[in-house]
């Protein structure tokens, strides 16, 4: 059992299979309940519940203890199989085995992570029937699940019913509100938490700063400074990398580069996230030279840039026309072995095109996968695709099940606008809303407004603009474009 636990801790699946194969030579031990439980846990830790299932260990065990059931449920839950976890959970209930608290939490967390709303609703009723909704551990798991389901009010009701709330449960309800853009409620929860004397941890402050950053009415630099001084520094969490990163982002949004830099300097052990946040703060303040300087010192500090970091500094090079810096960054990306077929490839194409290096820009574009939304965007930046090629690539993407992004639609609609293709633009917006369930944003509808205006359809253009101001923009836009399609004259 000790060997099985150690193997699971390493996460080495190949080693786990070899160890299990040796154990299988002794069926008496393999089918022993205690040993079998450890085999299941080992496979779960290695991320391969399929192997435990394929071996039929659970079914072949001489008897199932509460630990056996919990191990199998946790194995499925941890590896993204909520339906299977629930199936075993219900089978356990039918056998009259009372679930442990950890078992309830495993299956609830699994439903939340998989957004399995129907299963989650059934499970919540089972928790109620078991009289556990007020239990702090199970109740907190339900709060988190309901927040992920987009049901913050129900999450609040469960939270209110928890008999002895702890820091984790307070964090869960704050997160439930913040995750659903209810930032004012999240901040009120924090204020109540302070009044009740509940303890804070780093997750608490991450929730608070995320809500502050996203709440338009909470953008006061002075208020953030007060919160930083009175609460965070008093607890010592300001030196935590995650909290420090959140502070950098918050001060940056408030337009206080000085305080963002102070927060960055106060982090004891910086991470790529904190360094990237500071680079972004410099960029947003127009301090592009400082952003590039900070980037150049990352390696010296043992911090390796990731795709996000490279994307931001490439945008600086593109806007500043800093070809040499951009080329050095390109070399660093190549040496790091980072894939450039996606968004990073677009950033490189854009950088070289903006710096006047047409040859490099074209070369990178041609190296991108032919049937890719990224190639479509890159082609627009380096001006290597004409109208016909753009429409052909867009059509091929759709036929092959590659879902276009909002940016892809902007490119096609911009092409329609330049070519005066009102009919195709209208069909494109209808397709975007109806087939892909995407909302037609300002940029998308602006292309249609432009086409309608140039076609002498001023009233229709005004109508589109008016509908852009309505809250339920997607549904109303679809209704309006249906009427345009029916009017055959408008398509010529």
* Secondary structure, 3-state, the chain: CHHHHHHHHHCCHHHHHHHHHHHCCCHHHHCCHHHHHHHHHHHHHCCCHHHHHHCCHHHHCCCCCHHHHHHHHHHHHHCCCHHHHHHHHHHHHHCCCCCCHHHHHHHHHHHHHCCCHHHHHHHHHHHHHCCCCCCHHHHHHHHHHHHHCCCHHHHHHHHHCCCCCCHHHHHHHHHHHHHCCCHHHHHHHHHHHHHCCCCCCHHHHHHHHHHHHHCHHHCCHHHHHHHHHHHHHHHCHHHCHHHHHHHHHHHHHCCCHHHHHHHHHCCCCCCHHHHHHHHHHHHHCCCHHHHHHHHHCCHHHCCCCCHHHHHHHHHHHHHHCCHHHHHHHHHHHHHHCCCCCCHHHHHHHHHHHHCCCHHHHHHHHHHCCCCCHHHHHHHHHCCCCCHHHHHHHHHHHHHCCCCCCHHHHHHHHHHHHHHCCHHHHHHHHHHHHHCCCCCCCHHHHHHHHHHHHHCCCHHHHHHHHHHHCCCCHHHHHHHHHHHHHHCHHHHC
Q: What is the pLDDT of residue 294?
A: 95
pLDDT of residue 403: 60
Residues of the chain with pLDDT under 70: 1-13, 16-17, 19-67, 213-224, 227, 230-236, 238, 368-408, 411, 431, 434-436, 439-443, 454, 457-492
pLDDT computed for residue 475 by the predictor: 43
The structural domains of the chain, with segments of one domain joined by +, span 305-385, 386-492
Which pLDDT value is given to residue 373?
A: 52
* pLDDT of amino acid 347: 84
The confidence score (pLDDT) of residue 451 equals 73
How confident is the model over 446-477, as pLDDT tens digits? 777 777 776 776 666 666 656 554 444 444 44
Residue 483: per-residue pLDDT:
46
> pTM of the prediction?
0.62
pLDDT given for residue 192 in this prediction: 93
Please give the pLDDT value at position 476. 40
């Amino acid at each position: 059992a000790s060997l099985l636990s150690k193997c699971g801790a390493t996460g080495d699946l190949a080693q786990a299979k070899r160890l299990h194969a040796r154990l299988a030579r002794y069926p008496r031990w393999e089918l022993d309940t205690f040993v079998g439980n450890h085999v299941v846990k080992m496979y779960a830790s290695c991320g391969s519940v399929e192997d435990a299932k394929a071996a039929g260990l659970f079914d072949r065990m001489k008897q199932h203890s509460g630990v056996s059931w919990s191990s199998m449920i946790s194995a499925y839950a941890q590896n993204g199989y909520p339906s299977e976890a629930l199936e075993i959970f219900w089978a356990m209930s039918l056998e009259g085995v009372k679930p442990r608290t950890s078992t309830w939490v495993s299956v609830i967390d699994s439903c939340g992570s998989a957004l399995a709303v129907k299963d989650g609703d059934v499970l919540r009723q089972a928790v109620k029937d078991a009289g556990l909704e007020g239990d702090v551990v199970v109740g907190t798991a339900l709060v988190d699940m309901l927040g992920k389901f987009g049901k913050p009010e129900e999450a609040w009701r469960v939270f209110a019913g928890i008999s002895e709330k702890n820091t984790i449960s307070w964090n869960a309800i704050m997160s439930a509100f913040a995750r659903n853009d209810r930032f004012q409620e999240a901040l009120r929860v924090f204020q109540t938490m302070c009044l009740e004397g509940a303890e804070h941890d780093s997750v608490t402050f991450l929730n608070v700063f995320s809500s502050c950053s996203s709440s338009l009415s909470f953008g006061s630099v002075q208020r953030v400074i007060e919160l930083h001084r009175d609460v965070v520094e008093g607890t010592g969490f300001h030196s935590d990398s995650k909290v420090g990163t959140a502070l950098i982002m918050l001060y940056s949004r408030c337009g206080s580069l000085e305080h963002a830099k102070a927060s960055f300097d106060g982090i004891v052990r910086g991470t790529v996230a904190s360094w990237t946040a500071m680079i972004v703060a410099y960029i947003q303040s127009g301090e592009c030279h400082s952003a590039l300087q900070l980037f150049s010192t990352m390696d010296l500090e043992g911090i390796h840039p990731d795709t996000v970091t490279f994307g931001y500094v490439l945008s600086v090079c593109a806007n500043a026309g800093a070809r040499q810096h951009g080329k050095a960054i390109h070399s660093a990306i190549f040496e790091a072995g980072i894939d450039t077929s996606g968004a990073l490839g677009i950033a490189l194409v854009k950088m070289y095109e903006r710096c006047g290096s047409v040859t490099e820009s074209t070369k990178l574009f041609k190296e991108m996968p032919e049937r890719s939304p990224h190639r479509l965007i890159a082609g627009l930046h380096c001006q290597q695709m004409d109208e016909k090629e753009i429409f052909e690539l867009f059509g091929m993407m759709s036929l092959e099940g590659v879902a276009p992004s909002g940016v892809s639609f902007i490119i096609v609609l911009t092409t329609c606008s330049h070519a005066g293709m009102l009919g195709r633009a209208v069909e494109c917006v209808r397709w975007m809303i109806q087939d892909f369930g995407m909302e037609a944003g300002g940029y998308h509808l602006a292309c249609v407004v432009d086409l309608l205006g140039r076609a002498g359809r001023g009233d229709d253009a005004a109508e589109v603009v008016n509908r852009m101001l309505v809250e339920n923009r997607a549904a109303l836009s679809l209704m309006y474009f249906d009427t345009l399609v029916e009017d055959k004259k408008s398509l010529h």
